Structure 1
Amino acid sequence: MKKLFSLALALSLGAAVFAQEKKDITLNIVPLPQHVQIKNGSFKVNTNTKIAFDSDEDKKVATLFQDFLKSNYNLNLSLVKSPAKNSIYFSSKNAKSANTEAYELNIAADQITVSGKASGLFYGMQSLIQLLPVDKRASIEIPQASIQDEPRFAYRGLHLDVSVTFFL
């Protein structure tokens, strides 16, 4: 009886610790980023918000995001070359990681910065899109956070062995 009780206690404590670790992350981003730090407050996207970029490569991602907002939220935000207050800024020159698929997404009260090299900007934009609300409003609020992510493995794929399953 003692062993059964101690086993049940150990399992419940383990479940409580696991639930506490998962409780801290409340942003619904798939796949789950490596590092997420949620802050207080939010960034408000409205008709005065600008989409800023550094280079021509950054402009491609900024244009994709602009088109997404136009088609899904009916917001026609203008593209600008330099960042300012109340802007969403895509930058490849501020990338810290050597991995081309790594990105950093910093959401503050006055600016959102997505930084990364090459495809990292695209993946950062995808994470930003997942943070947008589902309902279509004129003003969009995105919770303040700091997100850093890069793939764990260089190759991503799936192998399905169909020869194991025999059909009669």
Structure 2
Amino acid sequence: MKEDLIINSLKEKFQTNILEAVNTSPRRVTVKVSQAVLLDVIKFLRDDFKFYHLSTITGLDAPAGAGDFEMQYHFANELAVVTVSTMVPRAELKMKSICAIIPGAVLYEREIQDMFGIVVENIPDPRPLVMPDDWEEGNYPLRKDWKFERKPEVIPGEKNGS
């Protein structure tokens, strides 16, 4: 099976830096790695298994105060989908850009910065992507501890602002 080959190859090459590698369902592999080898794992998957297509990057926040952020990189080719995940500690909100390996990741990484406040190091274009220019620094809408404090704008002519 292609899934077993991917898992075994990753474990052989990266050994203890592969924290978990499982075949979650047909054609699906989930791999958890340390941040130290994230770029190398992605490069290996691209070069050795032809995972050129990054479908998206998903950011996950544990419940407020309960843990770190998890970044999931979803890659696909004609035979399988591989999700590579790594943890970003709340105490040090930094991760490395994968744009040198997968240039199309830039938009996803900019969104991660906007929505979670995680600094993506070496990103080729660090400008905000989805947040307005006047968005208050320190407000990251996809964090569990985020509080929406903006008053709704009332548009003239609408009943009760709705």
Same fold (TM over 0.5): no
Higher relative contact order (CA 8 A, sep 6+): 1
Q: Output the TM-score relative to the length of structure 2.
A: 0.26
User: Highest CA radius of gyration, 1 or 2?
Assistant: 1
Q: Output the TM-score relative to the length of structure 1.
A: 0.26
